[in-house]
Amino acid sequence: MRVVHLTSELPWPATRSGALRTLSRLRLVSSLSEVDSITLVSVADRLVPRSELDALASAVPKLRPLPPVFHPSPPRPAPRHAVLRARGVPFVAARWASKPLQRALQSELDRAHVDVLYVDHLGMMCNLLEVKAQCAPAHTVLDPHNAEGDVLFPFATCDRGARKWIAAFEQRAAARFERRALQSVDAVIAGSIEDARRYEDLAGTSVHIVPSVLQARPRPQPAPASRPPRFCWVGNLHWRPNVAGLDWFCRNVWPLLRARLPEANFEIASVPPSPDKVRTVVPDAWNVPGVRSLEIAGDLEPVLARSTAMLAPVIGGSGIRTKLLDGFRVGLPVVTTPDGALGLSVKDGRELLIGKTPEAFADKLVSAATDEALRERLAVAGQSYLERRHSLEVVQGAMRAALGPSGFVVNR
């Protein structure tokens, strides 16, 4: 069986949450015995050296990554973008419109028979809708990653003036485009129950829940009790829900925590921006004693190894919280907000700690910092959660069902 995988980001090196999820999906599809080959069609805002493509091919058996189509981020203004926006296409989709990408996809679909066309990210549908009518039918699967209308809704209701109007327009346009995209494919994949319900309510289509594959690794040695508590946050500062959550934490929670744990430290480890993106300016509220911002381009292991717990103060957004699962994977206790735990079958005090208000969040952090038995219990429960719900054996069946009926025998 031949699969063509269309995505908005070359998942190598996999340092961003989206790239990590895409890489996980590629490895999952590759693990299926029915799949013979996967061709990756992608875009990049830089010249990708051949060595990176070779490394990605080595990391994912059966994968043939094509050289990415150059696509600046943010895209340079072009007449086609204005036309798309005038038609009501939201920015989250119009920004990925690319004639060169459409030609590359068309060429790959014409080259040989394709059994499955896997569309990774909702925005890529903007290109597929232009190409699909011209190509031979293939079982088309959409993995949106996020419910974009839900991501934009908080900003449409909270912003003021022109920003509020623009956000409201984008939110409505995103919902319309999302509905059309969901209804135009053969199968839809969601990473969580919450997103599956959102897609079903919006488009009236059935959805396959396919969790990410994550393998727990040996837990690090517990930090010495005498060492000052150190918390970490890992993510992308160009994702607005991340910034909103961090701003809430630094302004409202951190002063409460430092009043109770004066020696506590907090590291904000962000992924460096791509060359065409403006570097994020750290707000004054984050430049306070005990808080340190740093960019990590490679291995996050040093940051995780010196941390007492991982924080995920998520405000709004959608999709599976990859950073929470990554905390489980490395055996770190995780402290999050109710929005951060959406879509996961977890319970406060069992796999992680959840605080809704600044005071409650600070209380959870103090518990994580001072109770060694609690940290150990959370680490064990988090890794057990991954084994039950995110192991390869568990997830393979769900992916088979989504990719069928193209020659698959679906186990039920």
Cα angle, residue 245 at apex, residues 216 and 150 outer, rounded to 5°: 90
Q: What is the pLDDT of residue 83?
A: 67
Distance of alpha carbon 114 from alpha carbon 4, whole angstroms: 7
Q: What is the mean pLDDT of residues 225-250?
A: 86
**pLDDT above 80 (res 163):** no
pTM reported for the whole predicted model? 0.78
Long-range contacts of 301-306 (CB under 8 A, 24+ apart): 303/232, 303/234, 303/267, 303/269, 304/220, 304/232, 304/234, 304/330, 304/332, 305/220, 306/223, 306/230
User: Per residue in 91-142, pLDDT tens?
Assistant: 878 889 999 999 999 999 998 899 999 999 999 998 987 786 566 678 999 9
Q: What is the pLDDT of residue 153?
A: 44
Structural domains in the chain plus CATH codes: 2-213+391-403 (3.40.50.2000), 230-389 (3.40.50.2000)
Contact 56, 12 (CB under 8 A): yes
Q: What is the mean pLDDT of residues 82-87?
A: 68
Name the H helices within 229-297. Answer: 240-248, 254-260
Q: What is the pLDDT of residue 344?
A: 85
Kindly indicate the confidence band of residue 411, based on its pLDDT and cuts at 50, 70 and 90: very low
Could you tell me which residues are beta bridge partners of residue 336?
312, 354
Mean pLDDT, rounded, of the chain: 85
The token pair at 233 is: 């946050």
Q: Which residue is associated with the tokens 């790239």?
A: 19
Contact 92, 145 (CB under 8 A): no
Q: What is the pLDDT of residue 167?
A: 76
**pLDDT above 70 (res 49):** yes
Distance of alpha carbon 154 from alpha carbon 148, whole angstroms: 11
Contact 292, 267 (CB under 8 A): yes
Cis peptide bond prior to 405, omega within 30° of 0: yes
Q: What is the pLDDT of residue 300?
A: 78
The residues, any chain, with a CB within 8 Å of residue 373's CB and separated by 6 or more, are none
The token pair at 155 is: 């900003």
User: Per residue in 255-311, pLDDT tens?
Assistant: 999 999 999 999 999 876 554 454 555 788 898 999 999 887 667 778 888 999 999
Q: What is the mean pLDDT of residues 198-227?
A: 80
**pLDDT above 90 (res 13):** no
Q: Which value, to the nearest 10 degrees, does the dihedral of the CA atoms of residues 254, 257, 261, 263 take? A: 0
Q: Which residue is associated with the tokens 């920015």?
A: 91
Beta strands of 85-156 (E only): which ranges?
116-120, 139-143
The residues, any chain, with a CB within 8 Å of residue 85's CB and separated by 6 or more, are 91, 94
Q: What is the pLDDT of residue 80?
A: 63
Distance of alpha carbon 267 from alpha carbon 269, whole angstroms: 6
Distance of alpha carbon 86 from alpha carbon 78, whole angstroms: 13
Kindly indicate the confidence band of residue 184, based on its pLDDT and cuts at 50, 70 and 90: very high
Q: Which of 221, 223, 195 is nearest to 208 (CA)?
A: 195
Kindly indicate the confidence band of residue 332, based on its pLDDT and cuts at 50, 70 and 90: very high
Pick the more confident residue, 223 or 68. 68
Cis peptide bond prior to 74, omega within 30° of 0: yes
Kindly indicate the confidence band of residue 410, based on its pLDDT and cuts at 50, 70 and 90: very low
**pLDDT above 90 (res 406):** no
User: Per residue in 349-401, pLDDT tens?
Assistant: 999 999 999 999 999 999 999 999 999 999 999 999 999 998 888 899 999 99
Pick the more confident residue, 70 or 241. 70
Q: Which of helix, strand or coil describes residue 151? A: helix
Q: Which residue is associated with the tokens 């895409």?
A: 22
Cβ burial 364-374 (10 Å sphere, 16+ → b, else e):
bbbbbbeeeeb
